[in-house]
Amino acid sequence: MDLGDRKREVRASAFALRKAAFDLNKRGTAGLLSSVLAGYRGVPISGYMPIGSEINPLPAMMEAEAYGPVAMPVIVATGQPLKFSQWSPDGVLRDGPFGAQVPAIDNFIIPEIVVVPLVAFTRAGGRLGYGGGFYDRTLEKLRANQPTMAIGFAFSAQEAVSLPLEATDQPLNMIVTETEVIDVAGYNNIYDWCFNCRRFGSGEF
């Protein structure tokens, strides 16, 4: 079985686990995500419009939007990185690719924190997505230009001991579930250091 086949097999099992968790936890799952984002008030953030059995980040996004810009990912074309259009809770939406809604008027920003949906994750920051590579290409591009924190948002049931990953799979800095916050060793501290260096114009602390 090659890597692609292994990913498809793991993805199918993980989808079933996510659906079961979604059916049990339809409300009140974004509290910890709100607490995490509260530590980065004013920092440009991207969330996502949940589809299917994805965990819902909208309550945390609504809270964050009161303090700074919040965006939604927009698929521009297959094989291309995502762009991020600024969103507001009362803004008009339109249908985008794959059934996800996006802001009706494009006002693109560059986020410094990206809340990422996923199919499965590991505590080491591994992420299994949907197979299109959109977030991997996007995070690679963003991180080449500025410190960018990727927060995987998922149900705890989506945790895996290991995942079939490739060198191009971008790691998560943090995973937030409905029950805990998982700091991936080293990544979050590096982000905070880089972010504060840039924000305050200092290379040392």
Q: Is residue 25 part of a domain?
A: yes
Confidence of residue 174 (pLDDT cuts 50, 70, 90): very high
Q: Is residue 112 part of a domain?
A: yes
Two tokens at 56? 């819902």
pLDDT in tens, 84-121: 999 999 999 999 887 788 999 999 999 999 999 999 99
- Number of folded domains in the chain? 1
Q: Is residue 174 part of a domain?
A: yes
Q: Work out the average pLDDT over 3-13.
A: 91
**CB burial class (10 A; 0-12, 13-18, 19+) of residue 142?**
buried
CATH number at residue 189: 3.40.50.10420
CB atoms within 10 A of CB 46: 30
CA 74, CA 100: separation in Å to the nearest integer? 9
pLDDT in tens, 151-161: 999 999 999 99
Question: Phi and psi of 18, rounded to 5°?
Answer: -65, -40
Please indicate whether residue 109 or residue 27 has the higher confidence score (pLDDT).
109
Q: For residue 164, what are the domain limits? A: 3-121+129-200
Q: Is residue 68 part of a domain?
A: yes
Residue 198 has what DSSP assignment?
A: H
pLDDT in tens, 40-59: 999 999 999 999 999 999 99
Q: Is residue 108 part of a domain?
A: yes
Measured in whole angstroms, how far is the alpha carbon of residue 161 from the centre of its chain? 20
pTM for the model:
0.90
Nearest by Cα to 183 from 39, 22, 54: 39
Q: Is residue 205 part of a domain?
A: no
Q: Is 187 helix (H, G, I), strand (E, B) or coil?
A: helix
Q: Is residue 106 part of a domain?
A: yes
Q: Is 90 helix (H, G, I), strand (E, B) or coil?
A: coil
Q: Do 150 and 116 touch, CB atoms closer than 8 A?
A: yes
* For residue 200, pLDDT beyond 50: no
Q: Is residue 104 part of a domain?
A: yes
Tell me how far apart the terminal alpha carbons of the chain are, to the nearest angstrom.
49
Sign of the torsion angle spanned by Cα atoms 59, 69, 126, 187: negative
